[in-house]
Structure 1
Amino acid sequence: MSTFYQEKLNFQDPTSVEQSYKNLLNEDIETVKEMEAWLKQHSQIQNYIEEGLTGHYIDFQCQSDSETAKKAFEYDQQVIEPLVKKYEALLDEKFLSSPIKNQLDPLYYREFLKSKMNAKELFRESNIALEIEEDRLTTHYFEHTGSLTVDWNGEEKTLSEISTYLEDSNRKIRKKAMTLTVEAFISKETELQNIMSDLIELRHRKAENADLPNYRDYMFKKYERFDYTPEDCTNLAVAIQKHVTPLNKRLQREHQKELGVDVYRPWDRKGVSNEQKPLQPFHNRNELVEKTTQIFSNLEPRFAELITTMDKHGMLDLTTRKGKSPGGFCAPLPVSELSFIFMNASKTHDDMTTLLHEMGHCIHNDLTKDLPLSKYRDTPMESAELASMTMELLTMDQWHLFYDDQEDLRRAKKDHLTGIVGFLPFGMVVDQFQHWLYENPNHTPAERKMKFKELQFQIDSSIVDWTGYEEWSEITWLRILHIFEVPFYFVEYVIAQLGALQMYKQYRTNPEKTLENYKQALSLGASKSLSEVYKAAGIRFDFSEEMIKNLMEFVEEELEALND
């Protein structure tokens, strides 16, 4: 279909793909030199596989209403991915059973060995069939959500397109936009709830097959969360509730006062006052790319070169359209040595920061592309999101390139910092919700809705009045694709955001050193532990109460400076 990725293997001939693995399995390894050469060959095959699978995934996300894209994607899920999982487990066994592994450099291969032993402990061939069904269910989620549109004054619009109206100064327009958005998801609630119920049942079986008490524990091993525990996540939620939620409520009260409303409703949260217009940093797709490139030219020429090259090769699908899946992501293409950015821009400030965010991932991929082991290029999400969230903050002093008006620039910076404060409690709601889902796999959809509402009240208590619209609050999670597609991927955003604030604090006093630390940390990929990566960045892998309290005090100081 698309030409932005390279297909080095013929997926339509799975026997040839299988033969590539068999050749590796049959190879004799008698020396350290042969072992390292074998590992590099293995990494090359993994690169070929990843490039093809990722390319087909991108095709489907870009055209979720395309039968051709869907068939290619589902073929990969049903044929290629099971084959890959089977042979990767066999290759792991070959590596771990070889006495030569003990002669490898213990410092360089420490994380690699840890990962391989963990994968062996987790792998069960009986789970492969379950994962095929799991993939089928998540595909259905995107089919349902990617097709959602609404009638806006006689014109069919995607949900991304009407999201701009949530920022309107006219309260009636804001309410209309939110009502249409929520009603669109309510129209699909039964289908999405059924998908979720099926996923939970299936995922619990996977955990049982792996001799684990629940799917939460399974995913902590799957994500190789060696640096923290489920209990740490619970403690993080408590710390966020204690030190972030009160600040968030105070900022909401200030916003309520700016809007001049007696009651702060769900559709008021992004609204602007009657004297203001919603922030619009760009007018079209090309302007967004050009100004982002200019920012990177000032920050680091290689970053600008990267986005220019990606744009030239058709790797920036940035605008919303019917049939395109919701959300945004950056996908590495290891053979092409570039990344693909997918997003649904509708000319808002969030779209600007989303591109900067996703470019942080692209930069991360670029800095790790020369690591010889593909495993070390597969960075954990806590450092991957550190790369992207830090990039949002490091570029703030150049946002004047998007905002000529000084008042708009001030508002943009204030909104961004306020948004971080607002996200942290919500992020922990989503995380703790997922813990509950899989610790209590026999719950009902009604109980699911009540639990989400309860966690919002507990962790993210706010001044928003949901009276008469309680159901809206209860189904908010249906829009979060991570819960369906990449379960338990959300606490990383919170952890990384706290790291990014540390980076920004460092940047405010020494920008040159911070940028060097940033590049140095990201270049490590997964070759070091998270604690070591964060240390290389000049910060701490620390989400203690003390750290959170100090960071919120810093954010308050930054906000006060913007108000002066």
Structure 2
Amino acid sequence: MMRRAIWWAAWAGLLLAVFRGPVMAAEESGDVRRAARAFLEKYQADLARLERRANLAQWRAANSGKKEDFEAAAAASLALRRYHSDPQVYRQLVELTKSADRLSPLQARALQLAKLAYQRNQLPPDLLKQMVDLSTEIERLFNTYRAELDGEKRTNNELLEMLRQENDSARRREIWEALKQVGGVVAHKLVHLAKLRNRAAKRLGFDNYWQMSITLQEHDPDQLLAIFDELEQLTREPFARMKAQLDRELARRFGISADQIMPWHYDNPFFQAAPPSPHVDLDEFYKDKTKEQIVEIARRFYQDVGLPIDEVLKRSDLFEREGKDQHAFCVSIDRAGDVRTLCNIKPTAEWMDTMLHEQGHAVYDLNIDRRLPYNLREPAHIFTTEGVAMLFGALAKTPSWMIAYAGADPRRVDEVAPAILRQRQREQLIFARWTMVMLHFERDLYEDPDRELNALWWDYKERFQRLKRPPERNRPDWAAKPHFTIAPVYYHNYMLGELFAAQLRHRLAQLAGHQGPTAELDFTGNRQFGDFLRQKVFRPGAAVPWPAFVRRATGQRLTARYFAEEVQ
């Protein structure tokens, strides 16, 4: 601790020398470069050590489920946040980044990301504690609340299964309303949390929490909204046509007219996911596989495109075990090649998708240029690694890939290929319009938490999802969505990942001379694709902000155009 204090004092002295009084331009530039180099050498070493400890702790906890491992993971994560909470270092970083034009591009970029890491941790401890405590309390309510239906307590999963199977409209409404009950329990707490988050944002110089979150994610608010405006315009008609067809299908199922379809007639209570296709169940192509074969299929595919994952698989934990995390994730332990994935693989289409998805994150992390400064050895943005993972995950539901790697019967695939592609388009359109609701509602929530949020929610549901507002309903249905607590101001990144994946598919189709829909692009054994992704997408890491990265990687700005072409 004493050694660290002495080092920071010495570095602060050097920084003060840089910004004290008039000096010759050449001398000043030399001092700035020396100050930047001194800071970054120490910072990168500290960050590497603290991150590796936190990542290993997270990995152990996710695999063991033991209380002591989760406590160790929380402590390691807190140590990383505390390291970035020093207000003096943050102020000095602010000054140093003002002289970015005197530094090399990589130095300037590394300092900018360091500044953002410090900026998001500059909250007063008392306010931070209030936010964490309230957020934890809301999460606890979500986890423990059981809705009441027919005088019985029901879990969310039970209600969702009941909704999926029920054909009586009145009964579906009762189930749907039960799924929204938790909103009434947490709504007032969420409004209070929004106000606390706004107070925190204003302490850091932002108008509100939405603006702070967007900015610290390296998004320009106007640019982000412009992309979503473009997406809304380009998907408006395709979505209207798709939903009209879907409503006709549902009307036949429930014995009503299409204009009587209400929100409870969809299987997902938020209408954020497509109902299962009545024409094809993709599990038929995977159910005869073992879980080990699912892994081998992924390994062989990545090997064929020149992005081997053998070393990742050796370090990964891929099958179900007692106490283990039930979900899936990828983690780069040290940003130097120790990349691991956690899965719970079963022989289903969804887990084939997930396996390809998580290995997509892995090959991205593996192939970032390790000569970059440590804090630039990460994807250009969270949505770019999501986009790559989505690009690969979607192959599990692509006819040509299913034949080549899953061993699907070509004749059977030909029979159901139109239904497969139509279902994929439904999934894309429904999710796109749902993310518009989340983006606009959250922006308005933080601009004014005291507005009529219940009505506002349905204003956006009507506008973007073309859902009918239940008559005379004034309930906090919005508050039943846990993401407002656990992943606030984040949904837009999922959709940006979809846009980036579509843009990558378009670029790869150009390279391959592919004619026809990019959804049918054949990846089989195409090492050209692997080479392109390695050089243009993976290697650059976070060396430049994402808008410049996307333009360099794909030849143009991020656009909704190619996503829209896929869903026509």
TM range (shorter): 0.7 to 0.9
Distance change >3 Å, CA 322–CA 52, structure 1 → 2: closer
In structure 2, what is the equivalent of residue 85 of structure 1?
84
The separation in 1 between residues aligned to 2:170 and 2:70, in whole angstroms, is: 35
Partner of 1:135, secondary structure, is helix
The separation in 1 between residues aligned to 2:81 and 2:334, in whole angstroms, is: 21
The separation in 2 between residues aligned to 1:359 and 1:176, in whole angstroms, is: 42
Indicate conservation of the 8 Å contact 1:330/1:362, yes or no. yes
Distance change >3 Å, CA 442–CA 36, structure 1 → 2: same
In structure 2, what is the equivalent of residue 298 of structure 1?
304
Indicate conservation of the 8 Å contact 2:280/2:420, yes or no. no
Query: Is the counterpart of residue 526 in structure 1 residue 525 in structure 2?
Result: no
Distance change >3 Å, CA 100–CA 509, structure 1 → 2: closer
Query: Is the counterpart of residue 25 in structure 1 residue 8 in structure 2?
Result: yes
In structure 2, what is the equivalent of residue 11 of structure 1?
none
Is there any run of 5+ residues in structure 1 with no aligned partner, and where?
Answer: 1-17, 557-564
Indicate conservation of the 8 Å contact 2:146/2:154, yes or no. yes
The within-5 A match list for 1:398-477 is: 398-400=401-403, 401-402=405-406, 403-404=408-409, 405-406=412-413, 407-408=415-416, 411-443=419-451, 447-461=452-466, 475=477
Letter in structure 2 aligned against 1:290: E
Q: CA deviation at 1:440?
A: 0.7
In structure 2, what is the equivalent of residue 561 of structure 1?
none
Distance change >3 Å, CA 289–CA 368, structure 1 → 2: same
In structure 1, what is the equivalent of residue 54 of structure 2?
53
Indicate conservation of the 8 Å contact 1:148/1:184, yes or no. no
The separation in 2 between residues aligned to 1:292 and 1:160, in whole angstroms, is: 30
The within-5 A match list for 1:61-210 is: 67-69=67-69, 71-75=71-75, 80-81=79-80, 83-87=82-86, 89-93=87-91, 105-116=103-114, 122=119, 125-146=122-143, 172=167, 183=178, 186=181, 188-210=182-204
RMSD between superposed Cα atoms in Å: 4.5
Distance change >3 Å, CA 45–CA 241, structure 1 → 2: same
Letter in structure 2 aligned against 1:215: Y
Normalised TM-score (structure 2): 0.73
Letter in structure 2 aligned against 1:517: F
Distance change >3 Å, CA 118–CA 37, structure 1 → 2: closer
The separation in 2 between residues aligned to 1:140 and 1:272, in whole angstroms, is: 35
Q: CA deviation at 1:75?
A: 4.3
Indicate conservation of the 8 Å contact 1:124/1:210, yes or no. no
Is there any run of 5+ residues in structure 2 with no aligned partner, and where?
Answer: 15-29, 513-525
Q: Deviations over 1:264-315 (max 9, x none)?
A: 521287445666546455446444433322332222342x32542343xx3x
Indicate conservation of the 8 Å contact 1:20/1:45, yes or no. no
The separation in 2 between residues aligned to 1:551 and 1:357, in whole angstroms, is: 19
Normalised TM-score (structure 1): 0.74
Higher radius of gyration, 1 or 2: 2
Letter in structure 2 aligned against 1:417: Q
In structure 2, what is the equivalent of residue 15 of structure 1?
none
Distance change >3 Å, CA 470–CA 46, structure 1 → 2: farther
Indicate conservation of the 8 Å contact 1:240/1:459, yes or no. no
Distance change >3 Å, CA 206–CA 217, structure 1 → 2: same
Farther off after superposition, 413-422 or 525-534: 413-422
The separation in 2 between residues aligned to 1:516 and 1:242, in whole angstroms, is: 34
Corresponding residue pairs, total:
509
Partner of 1:537, secondary structure, is helix
Q: CA deviation at 1:420?
A: 1.5
The separation in 1 between residues aligned to 2:145 and 2:49, in whole angstroms, is: 34
Indicate conservation of the 8 Å contact 1:331/1:340, yes or no. yes
Letter in structure 2 aligned against 1:111: R
% same residue: 13
Q: CA deviation at 1:438?
A: 0.7
Letter in structure 1 aligned against 2:84: K
Farther off after superposition, 289-298 or 497-506: 289-298
The separation in 2 between residues aligned to 1:456 and 1:279, in whole angstroms, is: 32
Distance change >3 Å, CA 125–CA 114, structure 1 → 2: closer
In structure 1, what is the equivalent of residue 208 of structure 2?
214
The separation in 1 between residues aligned to 2:347 and 2:358, in whole angstroms, is: 16
In structure 2, what is the equivalent of residue 8 of structure 1?
none
In structure 2, what is the equivalent of residue 517 of structure 1?
532
Indicate conservation of the 8 Å contact 1:383/1:496, yes or no. yes
Q: Deviations over 1:85-138 (max 9, x none)?
A: 234x54455566679977975233332344455667x46844344334433444
Q: CA deviation at 1:247?
A: 0.8
The separation in 2 between residues aligned to 1:180 and 1:213, in whole angstroms, is: 40
Farther off after superposition, 42-51 or 286-295: 286-295
The separation in 2 between residues aligned to 1:150 and 1:294, in whole angstroms, is: 45
